[in-house]
Structure formats: structure tokens, C-alpha cells
Structure 1
Amino acid sequence: MATISSHIAVMTFPFASHPSALLNLVRRLAASFPTVRFSFLSTAKSNQAIFSGQHYDNIKPYDVSDGLPEGYFFAGNVHEPLEAFMKAIPGNFKEGMQEAEAEAGVKVRCLLTDAFFAFGGEMAEAMGVPWIAFWVGGPCSLSAHIHTDPIRSTVGDIDTAQNAEQTLNFIPGMSKIQIRDLPEGIIDPREMPIAHELHDMGLKLPQATAVVLNSYEEIDLTIITDLKTKLKKVLSVGPLTLTLSSPSKSDESGCLPWLDKHKAASVAYISFGTILVPPRSELVALAEAIEASGVPYLWSLPDHSRNHLPQGFVERTSTRGMVVSWAPQLQVLAHSSVGIHITHSGWNSVLESISYAVPMICRPFFADNMLNCRMVGDVWEIGVRVEDGILTKSGTMKAIQLLLSDDKGKELKENIRLLKDSAVKAVGSNGSSAKNFETLEDIIGSCC
């Protein structure tokens, strides 16, 4: 790259879709500031996954400690790596930043961190630099964390199990959100290993120079308007996938040529993200529903879970279905033959479905999944939640039938088409996201 004129340290939460979402934002900023070094600090495992085969002139990955003992063997407890990493912060990031400064020969002049890291505000204040926090989820989940104390004081004294359907109508834009939709740890901190850190985040984010969201204002205008009264700057700059060219990733399984052979909006794409797989009983039920419905399908399923599928399922459905260990999701959702996305309703997946107008069947699991699912089904009406929140043969078949042929399905498709149009407008010239990105550029330009 050219001579380094300034330096920004990027601190990532190295789990789920957090690193890739933050990298998308950094890619855009790096293109706007070609002489600024963006030092991308994350764990070795995370960096290897998102930078594999990719090179960016002014983005340099640096590995920080994951907090795990040498020789650690993952035995299936998903909380262990998370808890170990949280114990290692912020010391591991301070060491990584020192290494990056020494190599670049330029001091860090701005901190861009995952919003999970409330310590980012303290570090930035001590360094005398701006703190920009990036919220990976949607506006609704951010609002839930910002309002944690009001939520606890309002519903904390009731039996939440008996009142799970009580709505949060005391929070702007959340009148259809129910207690049972809230992420773990908001009401009862014991439900979530990092509940304390997330609560602290909600208290500290008002100190941030700006809070950036991978969303766009028109999708949740009431919520965004409320957040603007509580934070210094709320900058919705997404959907980022509509503003970037996708990194060239191989389609080793031949998903795209396979999709080329199918009719428009006929294929069900099935993916539950990168860190979870439904219970075996639900995988069986989903496979049985897919087989009985006769719908063409593309299923992204880790190899170790294939043996949970019904015996002979893959062979019996081979003329109209395809099971792969990984699929290029953006390209798949953008393909004209895909008509349904069966998803865990993580924010990235929801926003990508909106970006390419693919209605959803949601089976939420944890974190913001339930909130996003409620928004998809009851607020935006661009998809449906599976009956009783779990995958059954009959419930899944009903959902597939609804989306593919019923009048209600046509209505959902029109709704998501309109949302896509508003997203495209937001990132276009003079759109809300484009203007917010210019504001973000001004903030960075003033310190760099």
C-alpha cells in the first residue's frame, strides 16, 4: 500500500458472523481511505476463516490470544471458548494493538470495535481517540439491550414463564415483541455467560462517538428514532452486502450451476448459520417434510450432521435436491430459482434474504433469533415462524405450502420485494444509508 497516513485498530468478537460483518464495513472504509492502515484484530482461527484466500491493500489481520490453554480440545461445550476469550480481553487486544503500531510505525488514531466490547470506550478515552462501535445485529436487538434496565424493572417482578406473551409496548417500535422473544440474559443474567458484558454495553454505548449498524433506517424507523435520543450518533449504513462486491469464493459443490437448472422461485434453500445445527429429531422432521412436499431444495449442512438425516433421504431426493457442506449464501439467495430461505433468523441471514427478496421460514434458536423471527413474521410480514417454534414434518410442510402457492405466500413475497426496494434505495445515491456512511467517513476523516 501507499505510505501509511493514519491508523485505525479494529477489534472483533471472533464468533458466529461478527468478524465477517465487521470486515464488510472495514472493506468499505478501507476503499474510502486508501492510505489509512486498518489493523484487524481477532483470534487466529477467526482471521484464518475470513481472510483465507483474500488480500486487501490496507487491511492487515493480527492474531490475538483466544484465552484457551495450549492443546485445548473442543469437547462440544460452546460456552468454553466464549468464556475463555472474554477473560482474555482487553489485555489480548492491547498486546495486538501494540504489535500493529510497532509494525505500521503509526499510532492508532481511532478505535473501531464490535459493540460487544464496552471496554472500547475506556480504551479510546485513555488514548484520546474516537470510539466507533459496530452493532452486528438489527435495530430491534440493539434497542432491547439499550433498554435492559427498563425491561427488568417493568417485567422482572412477574412470572415470565406465565406471562411469556406480554408485549414490550412501553418501548418505541417494540409493541409486537413479546417477553419470550428477548435474548437470553436480558431479564435473567444467569441465562447467558456474557449477560453482564452485554448489560454493561447497553450502559456504555451512549459514550461512543458513533454506533454503526448493518441495517437501514426505513426498516425500523420508530426504533431508530428512539435510539437516536439515547446515543450520540446512530448510523445505519447497510445492507452492506448491497454496497460491496462479494469476495471471490469457490463454489466447489456446484451449487450455482445446479440452481441454473430450476424454475424461478422454486427452490428451498436451507441453512442454519455457521455455529449450530438443529437437534437430530428436527433434522429428521425437516427432511421428511422436504421429501413429502416434493419441493426442490439446496441444503447447507455440515458433514458431521449428515448421518442424522433419514436413511436413504439424499438418494431418494437426488433428482431434485442437493446437500452440501457449505454454500456461497449470497450468490445462492441472489439466484432467481431460490424462492424460500429456511433459516435460524440470525440478523445477517435475515438481512441477506431481504436484500434479495427471498421469503423466510424461521426456526429461531438463541440470542437475537427470536426477536428477528418476530419482526419477520409479525411486523414486516415477510416470512413465517414454524409452528410452536420447532421443526416438525407437518408444520414445515404447511409453511412451505404457504410460501410457495397460497395467497398469503404471494402477499409475503410482495412485502419482501418492497423491503428490498427500500434497501436498494437506502444504499443508493442520496439514500439514508449512503448519507450515514458519508457521516461516518467525516468522523474518521477528522481524526485521520
Structure 2
Amino acid sequence: METHKAHCLIFPCAAQGHINPMLQFAKRLQHQGTKITLATTKFFFKTLQEVSGSIAVETISDGYDEGANEVPLDTYNAVFQKVGSENLTELILKLKDLGCPVDCIVYDALISWALDVAKSLGLRAAAFFTQSCAVYKIYYHVYAGLLKLPLEESKVEIPGLPPLLASDLPSFFSNYGSYPPIFQMVAYDQMKNIHEADWIFCNTFYKLEEEVIDCTSKILPIKTIGPTIPSMYLDKRLQDDKQYGLSRFMPMTNDCMPWLNERSTSSVVYVSFGSLAELDAEQMEEVAQGLRTSNYYFLWVVRESESNKLPKDFVKETSDRGLFISWCPQLEVLAHKSIGCFITHCGWNSTLEALSLGVPMIGMPQWIDQSTNAKFVVDIWKTGIKAQPDETGIVRRDVIHECISVVMEGEKGQEIRKNADNWKDLARKAFDDGGSSDKNIKDFVSKLIQS
């Protein structure tokens, strides 16, 4: 039987937190001899500040080539499905005419109509979940009617998951009715045809979510292929894989890395709330004053759109201990010896990066899946603590100060650091030769290239 180099079309949602993990998966497939084309929207591609690496990129129209900032999400999704389906089909036919026929579409599970495109063209399709397996188990329970909403109880039990409080669930479930279009996307649209996918991949690793993966596998044929971070921070088998490669933000590497090099081991508090989260001015004030009174060095990523919320003169008054930058090379920062802890929104990519690099976390979840991720960080993986908000939803400065003290000092901080080191080792082992994620990727490629 002859084999051929299969061709995968990678199709993530046009958002930084979705592009990164799917791009890293694409690099792993390419390393195994698979031809890769990544498709994204014309507008998203135009906004990129950094484009590097060996992955070929093609663009399609989503119907809003000049952007869709003021367009309601449900309207955007409807137009994207219609225009995107047509354009994705045209791209696949174009690649075939060029002598590069696509064998499989690896699509972001949120773009569920991509599966319909694949089937209409006789192609195989793999769904890619960019969040944790635990979060997808919750989504599936809602979709299947096993978790009734609005919630009637303050405690929630789902097979394979630890006991959860309502506040530990994704925000559009705990605060039912708060984000109707997103609720529709995650709880119904991405699940309605999932059983028709040829493969289902999840950005996690087996040891990290062993119990929930075993339980979910009885319902869906899910395979773990994470953590999807550049190889040089894990197994180091892809020597040129040191960064993600497609970014909407230009990292201020030359500003932050020399500054970190001057700091001693575990002496810096790193603060970042990701590419989307928006803190209000009151919360920014509380974070600022918590950092001020902690007396530790701190590196705070404040996106340009958020910088006007900083307290007046705070940057100037803390210049001896603090560095403020609009974006940073987060992996390089987290891997630096000077970083003692990470104040994070607990987005899944940031959580996986911190776990993979052995960095203790202080969780300040904002919305979507972040409260669920924080629950696992604190109670299951035990690699951090949660900064508890007050009754108004604000985490106060004294709480932030106390959390920093707990993680950076004392017995509990030492235990958290020990656990973080253990997960760092297990994350690397997932990509060692024969590790769980390494094996799943090789099995996928093997099935793809069978003619």
C-alpha cells in the first residue's frame, strides 16, 4: 500500500487565543511530514503585527473584510457561516486545482459549519477544542439536557469532574442569560454535529485531566494533543519552534527581558489578563495598590486600550519596582528565573503555559471558562490560589497583597511551587517519544497518510 504526504487545512476562529493552540498543533503535524495550510479571515490577517514561521497561510472572507466591531455577534455568525462556507469551499477547490488537494480539515469546534463543508466535499474532518476537557464536558452536559439552566442548586455534580459551585461554571451558565450569542455558540452550535467529526482533539494532556478525559471518552472519541506551546519550552524536538508566530500584538521583548535579567530568582510578580479581558478602572486601581503595598518587583502587561485606567502617576511612583509594557513574549517571561508568580485571568492558554513552565498562579478569573480553570488550578492541580472578589465582584487590594504574600513566601507557597514543578515535568513527558500527546498526534498522521 502506498502512502502519501497528507494535506491538512487548519481553520481556527480569528482570535489570538484560538490561533495559537491550533497553529502549534499544525507545527506538530508538519514535523510529522504532513503538509499544512492555515486559513484565517482577511481582516484578522491584516491586523497581525507579527507573521513568522513555516506554516502557509491563506485568507478567506467572513463577510466583514474591514472589520466587524459594531456588528452583533449573532449577526456576524450568520454572515460568517454563509460567506465563510462559500469562501472555504472555493479555497479548498483552488488548492486542489493547484495540485495540493486537502485531505482533512482541522476546524475550531466553534466553527461547526466547517464540518458540513468538509463532508460536502468528501473530506475528513477533525474538531479542535481550544479549552480544557473539563469545560467541554460542562458544555456537553448542557447541550444534552443533563445540566438544567437556569441553575436551581448552588452545587453542581457532573461525572468525571470534582464537585462544583455554580460560581465555578463558565460565566454564561453561572450568570444565565448574560451572553446569549456566546451561550448559543458553545452550548449548542459547536455540539450539534460533533458526533459526525472523524476525530476530536482537545488542547490538554492526559495526566492533567485524567479522570474527566476517561469519562468524556465514553461519550466522545476525544484525543489529547496538548499542551500546545512551542516545542522549545517542552520537548525541544522542533528546534526552530520558539514562539507562536502569528500575533496581533508586538511584544516589547527588548524592554522587559533585560529588566528581568537584573532581578534575582523568584523576585518578580508577573501580571497579565490576556488579549481580551477588560478590567474596569476600580479593579485596575485595586490591582495597582495591591502591587504597591506588596513591595515586590512587578511586570504588568497593560494593553494600550487599557492604559488610561491606571491610577494617575502610578507608573511614575512605582518606577523603582515596576515595569509596564503593552505586550510581552509571555512564554519567555514565564520561563525566566526571576518570575515568582503569575497574577492571571486564568484563560486556558495562559493556564497551560504557567503549568507547562512551573509557575505558581494567583487566579483572578473574569468570564467565559476562567472560573472553571481557576477551580482546577486551586483545588485539583494545587498550583495556585484564587484572589476572592467581594460582594460587588471586585478583588480588593488587601486580598491581592495577601495572595502575593502567600504564594511568594511561607509554607503554602513552597508547596504550590513543588506542585508546579511536578506539572511542568508531566507536561514535558506528554510530548516525549511515546508520551500521550505525542502518540495521539502520530496516530492521527498515520491514519491520514493511509491511502
User: TM-score with structure 2 length normalisation?
Assistant: 0.88
Contact 1:132 1:210 in 2 (8 A): yes
Of 182-191 and 330-339, more deviation after overlay is shown by 182-191
Match of 1:25 in 2: 25
Give the 3-state SS of the residue equivalent to 1:264 in structure 2. coil
Does 1:282 pair with 2:277?
no
Secondary structure, aligned partner of 2:128: strand
Query: What's 2:44 paired with?
Result: 46
Deviation at 1:217, TM superposition (A): 0.3
Deviation at 1:99, TM superposition (A): 3.1
State the partner residue of 1:430: 434
**Distance in structure 2 (CA, Å) of the matches to 1:154 and 1:334:** 39
Mapping 1:327-406, distance limit 5 Å: 327-388=328-389, 390-406=394-410
Partner of 2:13: 13
Pairing partner for 1:228 from 192, 200, 217: 217
Measured in 1, the distance between the counterparts of 2:137 and 2:78 equals 23
Change (3 A) 1:346 1:83: farther
Q: Please state if 1:202 is matched with 2:204.
A: no
Contact persistence 1:138–1:215 (CA under 8 A)? yes
1:52-71 paired onto structure 2 within 5 Å: 52-56=50-54, 59-68=55-64
CA distance, structure 1, for counterparts of residue 307 and residue 402 of structure 2: 24
Instruction: Give the counterpart of 1:214 among 182, 188, 203.
Output: 203
Tell me how far apart the structure 1 counterparts of residues 449 and 48 of structure 2 sit (CA, whole Å). 27
Percent same amino acid among aligned pairs?
25
How far 1:237 sits from its partner (Å)? 3.6
Which stretch of the first structure deviates more once superposed, 389-398 or 59-68? 59-68
- Runs of 5+ in structure 2 lacking a partner? none
In the TM superposition, residue 155 of structure 1 has moved relative to its aligned partner by: 4.0
Partner of 1:322, secondary structure, is strand
TM-score, structure 1 as length reference = 0.88
1:47–1:228 distance in 2 versus 1, CA, 3 Å:
same
Task: Give distance in 2, aligned partners of 1:281 and 1:158.
Answer: 30
| In structure 1, distance between residues paired with 2:207 and 2:224 | 12
Distance 1:400 1:233, change over 3 A: closer
1:115 and 1:135 in contact (8 A); partners too: yes
Which of 142, 161, 167 aligns to 1:174? It is 161
CA offset digits 1:354-413 (Å, max 9, x no partner): 111111111111111111011111221111111226321011001001001121111111
Deviates more, 1:413-422 or 1:40-49: 40-49
After superposition, the Cα gap between the structure-2 partners of 1:49 and 1:339, relative to the gap in structure 1 and judged at 3 Å, is farther
8 Å contact from structure 1 (residues 237, 436) kept in 2: no
- State the Cα distance separating 1:130 from its structure 2 match: 1.4
Aligned mates of 1:156, 1:304 — CA distance in 2: 35
**1:414 paired to 2:434:** no
**Does the aligned pair in 2 maintain the 1:212–1:235 contact within 8 Å?**
yes
Conserved? CA contact 2:85–2:114, under 8 Å: no
Question: Does residue 1:156 correspond to 2:149, yes or no?
Answer: yes
Letter aligned with residue 362 of structure 2: I
SS at match of 2:385: strand
Return the offset for 1:185.
4.2
Q: Note the aligned Cα RMSD (angstroms).
A: 2.5
Name the stretch that deviates more: 4-13 or 309-318: 4-13
Q: What is the one-letter code of the residue matched to 1:411?
A: E
Q: Is contact 2:382–2:419 with CA below 8 Å preserved after alignment?
A: yes
Q: 1:138 aligns with which of 132, 140, 148?
A: 132
* Residues 220, 174 of structure 1: alpha-carbon distance in 2 compared, 3 angstrom cutoff: same
Deviates more, 1:4-13 or 1:402-411: 4-13
Q: Distance in 1 between matches of 2:420 and 2:257?
A: 23
Rounded to whole Å, the distance in 2 between the matches of 1:201 and 1:279 is: 31
**What amino acid does structure 1 have at the position aligned with 2:57?**
P
What is the one-letter code of the residue matched to 1:361?
I
Q: CA, structure 1 residues 250+274, in 2 after alignment: closer, same or farther (shift >3 Å)? A: closer
Residue in 2 that maps onto 1:128: 122
Paired residue type of 1:323:
F
Counterpart of 2:229 (choices 240, 246, 249) is 240
Aligned to 1:92: 84
In the alignment, the residues of structure 2 paired with residue 138 and residue 181 of structure 1 have an alpha-carbon distance, to the nearest angstrom, of 14
- After TM superposition, give the deviation of residue 239 of structure 1 in Å: 4.2
Distance in 2 of aligned mates of 1:132 and 1:172: 25
TM-superposed CA distance for 1:118, in Å, is: 2.1
For 1:266 and 1:190, how far apart are their aligned partners in 2?
39
The verdict on how the C-alpha distance between 1:195 and 1:52 changes in structure 2, with shifts beyond 3 A counting, is same
Q: How many residues align?
A: 429
Q: Would the aligned equivalents of 1:253 and 1:324 in 2 still touch at CA under 8 Å?
A: no
Query: Over residues 17-70 of structure 1, what are the superposed CA-to-partner deviations in whole Å (9 max), with x where a residue is unaligned?
Result: 101221111122122225x2x2322112333455833142xx322222233385
Partner-residue secondary structure (3-state), 1:8: strand
Deviation track 1:68-88 (CA, whole Å, cap 9, x = no partner) reads 385x6846xxx7367414532
- Determine the C-alpha separation between the residues in 2 that align with 1:189 and 1:105: 48
Which residue of 72, 75, 89 corresponds with 1:80?
A: 72
List gaps (5 residues or longer) in structure 1: none
CA distance in 1, matches of 2:69, 2:44: 15
**Is 1:148–1:202's contact at 8 Å kept on the other side of the alignment?**
no
Q: Distance in 1 between matches of 2:94 and 2:49?
A: 22
Please say which of residues 182-191 and 92-101 is displaced more in the overlay.
182-191
For the 8 Å contact 2:284–2:310, the answer to whether it is kept is: yes
Residue number in structure 1 paired with 2:315:
314
Point out which structure has higher relative CO (alpha carbons under 8 A, 6+ apart). 2
